[in-house]
């Protein structure tokens, strides 16, 4: 099958998201779609999937024009899509979710037993490792994604679109995902793969198509271009892919976490008697395979999760069991891991979101009246500095592209005087050009004397930013290493539980 998008234009208020875009997708090949945040990648794929309607342009299948009024039409034509935010019901089983996914209009009615058998068949065929009776909420993200993939395969999709599928996966899950992509390709399907990780595009794609500001700016052959070249093609200028920083000059201990213990509702240990500190003027990277207590550690420090025992303090101020507001007032910035849940209010404007945690401060209000001109000035400055691609500062934040939403949060959190910065997955979904800027801002916060803690499942990001690396394994600190005295390989061994400094010390 050959799917062709011809002259696609899509306008939203104040922005041309797709501007006369041409794109061809063929069976049996992987097409990577890359481009800056807001370039129009998701919009284009949503048009292909019948979720949005193009203002101009047409879609052709094997030379015949087609019209997709709804995603049901696209599915019937053999197009499947795996969104970044999965559309699964957490309290249902794998098989139940798969049944739910089948439109009754297709006349394909599946009962539960049949669904379970079908899931098993597809799981075997593509080595998905799915158990039909498992509850979605108990499954890791990587497996949930495979449930979405099995839904798409059950509907006989010939072209499968993945919108940033690897952003939420661990390195191990990413390897597994690529194996599945190879199997889909070998079965004759066509794959569209959106990613900001250029090495991934170079690794799996047969062709790479680059969008910039709504237009196709070029196509690249992965065997003829490298990461540096691709970054430049994407952003339109050379991009610094390594972090530029001087050696740290750590001062006094700022964040002190002492014997911290956190359990879940059923009493299971999440953070296990953890002790460490972060000093002013240093960046501590927290490495670990997802699910080893990083999320809960950050939640406990920032007042979002109950602490069973132990203490947290910042500059000697006790913040054990403080509220998120107390933590904020102690000059602590928090870039949350999940921007959809705790970072932005989508209905509020970009300008409002940029002062969300500070609207009551003297800077933006006097008594009960907001100083709107100051709020707007702040927004204009930050939008410019962080290169937030938005039609205006009054646009509601929820309509921004994923990466631009992330930039709004990072801009808000880093743009005040800070003692401590806690950044979880600070560049998730962000394009290479903006990663360069965000990393520079994190280093700048350090150089102005803040203590910085960066939590990332991307080991590359931890190693690039950190002056010191702490590895969490099953809720415990198993390594505390000077960045310059260690390497990816050693940190990887600690992450996998193969090494443990506690045992070395007592042995
Ligand atoms: N539903 C919407 N309403 C208004 N504007 C929108 C909507 N969806 C997208 N846009 C705008 O269209 C442009 C393209 O957005 P899109 O989400 O397609 O970008 P993207 O390339 O996927 O970016 P990212 O890499 O950040 O995900 C952006 O300027 C965005 O603000
Ligand atoms: Mg997108």
343 by Cβ neighbours in 10 Å (0-12 / 13-18 / 19+) ranks as buried
Question: Residue 310: is it exposed, middle or buried by C-beta count within 10 angstroms (0-12/13-18/19+)?
Answer: middle
Distance 210 CA to ligand 2 centre (A): 13
50 lines ligand 1 (CB under 6 A): no
Give the DSSP letter of residue 349. Answer: B
Cβ contacts of residue 87 below 8 Å, gap of 6+? 148
Q: Whose CA is nearest to atom 2 of ligand 1?
A: 399
Q: pLDDT tens, position by position, for the chain (507 residues)?
A: 999 999 999 999 999 999 999 999 999 999 999 999 999 999 999 999 999 999 999 999 999 999 999 999 999 999 999 987 788 889 999 988 887 766 444 445 567 778 888 889 999 999 999 999 999 988 988 899 999 999 999 888 999 999 999 988 888 889 999 999 999 999 999 999 999 999 999 999 999 999 999 999 999 999 999 999 999 999 999 998 889 999 999 999 999 999 999 999 999 999 999 999 999 999 999 999 888 999 999 999 999 999 999 999 999 999 998 999 999 999 999 999 877 666 899 999 999 999 988 877 778 887 778 888 999 999 999 999 999 999 999 999 999 999 999 999 999 999 999 999 999 999 999 999 999 999 999 999 999 999 999 999 889 999 999 999 999 999 999 999 999 999 999 999 999 999 999 987 665
Per-residue model confidence (pLDDT) at position 109: 58
> 159 — phi, psi (to 5°)?
-120, 125
Whole-number Å distance between alpha carbons of 368 and 98: 52
State phi, psi for 116 to the nearest 5 degrees: -60, -40
Task: Please give the Cα distance from 502 to 505 (Å, whole number).
Answer: 5
Q: Is 184 exposed, middle or buried (0-12, 13-18, 19+ CB in 10 A)?
A: buried
Q: Which residue has the tokens 């953070």?
A: 271
Q: What is the number of the ligand closest to the CA of 431?
A: 1
> 183: CA distance to ligand 2 center in Å?
25
Distance 40 CA to ligand 1 centre (A): 6
| pLDDT value for 105 | 42
Q: Decide whether any atom of ligand 1 lies within 6 Å of the 475 Cβ.
A: no
The ligand that comes nearest to the alpha carbon of residue 39 is 1
Of ligand 1's listed atoms, the one at least distance from the Cα of 400 is 31
Residue 397, judged by CB atoms within 10 A of its CB (0-12, 13-18, 19+), counts as buried
Q: How many whole angstroms from 407 Cα to the centroid of ligand 2?
A: 13
Distance, in Å, from the CA atom of 142 to the CA atom of 20, rounded to the nearest integer, reads: 35
Q: Which of 45, 400, 405 to mutate to test the pocket of ligand 1 (most atoms within 8 A of CB)?
A: 400
Q: Find the 276 Cα to ligand 2 centroid distance in Å.
A: 37
Short-list 433, 439, 395, 436, CA closest to 414: 439
Residue 428 is encoded by which pair of tokens?
Answer: 């998730």
Measured CA to CA, the distance from residue 7 to residue 215 in angstroms comes to: 10
Are residues 311 and 260 in contact, defined by beta-carbon separation less than 8 angstroms? yes
CB 12 near ligand 1, within 6 Å: yes
Instruction: Write down the pLDDT at residue 100.
Output: 79
Q: How many helices (H) and strands (E) does the chain have?
A: 18, 22
SS (H, E, C) 182-250: HHHHHCCCEEEEECCCHHHHHHHCCEEEEEECCEEEEEECCCCCCHHHHHHHHHCCCCCCCCCCCCCCC
Alpha carbon separation from 279 to 33, 193, 409, 415 (Å, rounded): 41, 41, 24, 20
CB 211 within 8 A of CB 35: yes
Residue 35 near ligand 1, beta carbon < 6 Å: yes
Nearest CA to ligand 1 atom 29: 38
Assess whether the C-beta atom of 43 lies below 6 angstroms from ligand 1.
yes
Please report the atom of ligand 1 found closest to the CA of residue 10.
12
Q: Is 433 in the pocket of ligand 1 (CB under 6 A)?
A: no
Distance, CA of 88 to chain centre: 18
**Nearest C-alpha neighbor of 230 from the set 449, 33, 434, 398:** 33
d(CA 186, CA 176): 15
Using the mean position of ligand 2's atoms as its centre, give its distance from the Cα of residue 100 in Å. 25
Does residue 123's CB lie within 6 angstroms of at least one atom of ligand 1? no
| pLDDT at 85 (0 to 100) | 77
User: How many other C-beta atoms lie within 10 A of the C-beta of residue 440?
Assistant: 14
Structural domains present in the chain = 2-235 (3.40.50.300), 253-340+416-506 (3.40.50.300)
Give the ligand at the shortest distance from the Cα of 339.
Answer: 1
Ligand nearest to the CA of residue 38, numbered in listed order: 1
Please tell me the predicted confidence (pLDDT) of residue 106.
47
Q: How far is the CA of 1 from the centre of ligand 1 (A)?
A: 28
Distance 400 CA to ligand 1 centre (A): 5
């Amino acid at each position: 099958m050959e799917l062709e998008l011809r002259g696609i234009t899509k306008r939203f208020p104040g922005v041309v998201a797709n501007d006369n875009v041409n794109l061809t997708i063929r069976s049996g090949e992987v097409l990577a779609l890359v481009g800056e945040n807001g370039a129009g990648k998701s919009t284009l794929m949503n048009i292909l999937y019948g979720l949005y309607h193009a203002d101009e342009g047409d879609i052709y299948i094997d030379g015949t024009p087609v019209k997709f009024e709804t995603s049901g039409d696209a599915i019937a034509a053999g197009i499947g899509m795996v969104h970044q935010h999965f559309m699964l019901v957490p309290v249902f089983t794998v098989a139940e979710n798969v049944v739910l996914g089948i439109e009754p209009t297709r006349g394909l009615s599946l009962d539960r037993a049949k669904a379970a058998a079908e899931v098993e068949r597809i799981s075997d065929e593509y080595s998905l490792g799915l158990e039909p009776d498992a509850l979605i909420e108990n499954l890791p993200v990587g497996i949930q994604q495979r449930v979405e993939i099995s839904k798409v395969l059950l509907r006989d999709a010939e072209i499968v679109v993945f919108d940033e599928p690897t952003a939420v996966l661990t390195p191990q899950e990413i390897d597994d995902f690529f194996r599945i992509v190879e199997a889909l390709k070998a079965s004759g399907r066509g794959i569209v793969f959106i990613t900001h990780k250029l090495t991934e595009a170079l690794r799996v794609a047969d062709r790479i198509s680059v969008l910039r500001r709504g237009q196709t700016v070029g196509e690249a052959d992965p065997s003829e271009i490298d990461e540096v070249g691709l970054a430049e093609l994407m952003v339109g200028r050379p991009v610094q892919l390594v972090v530029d920083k001087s050696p740290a000059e750590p001062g006094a201990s700022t964040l002190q976490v002492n014997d911290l213990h956190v359990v879940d509702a059923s009493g299971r240990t999440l953070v296990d008697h953890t002790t460490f500190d972060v000093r002013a003027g240093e960046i501590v990277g927290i490495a670990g395979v997802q699910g080893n207590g990083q999320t809960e550690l950050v939640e406990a420090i920032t007042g979002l999760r109950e602490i069973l025992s132990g203490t947290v303090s910042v500059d000697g101020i006790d913040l054990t069991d403080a509220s998120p507001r107390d933590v904020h007032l102690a000059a602590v910035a928090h870039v949350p891991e999940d921007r959809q849940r705790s970072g932005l209010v989508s209905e509020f404007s970009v300008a409002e979101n940029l002062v969300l945690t500070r609207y009551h401060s003297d800077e933006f209000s006097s008594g009960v009246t907001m100083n709107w001109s100051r709020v707007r000035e702040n927004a204009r400055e930050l939008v410019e500095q962080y290169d937030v691609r938005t039609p205006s500062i009054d646009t509601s934040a929820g309509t921004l592209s994923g990466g631009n939403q992330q930039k709004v949060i990072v801009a808000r959190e880093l743009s005040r005087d800070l003692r401590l910065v806690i950044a979880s997955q600070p560049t998730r979904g962000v394009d290479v050009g903006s990663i360069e800027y965000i990393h520079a801002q994190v280093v700048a916060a350090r150089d102005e004397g803040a203590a910085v803690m960066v939590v990332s499942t991307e080991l590359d990001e931890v190693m690039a930013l950190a002056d010191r690396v702490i590895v969490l394994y099953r809720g415990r600190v198993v390594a505390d290493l000077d960045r310059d005295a260690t390497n990816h390989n050693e940190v990887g061994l600690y992450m996998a539980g193969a090494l443990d400094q506690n045992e070395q010390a007592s042995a």
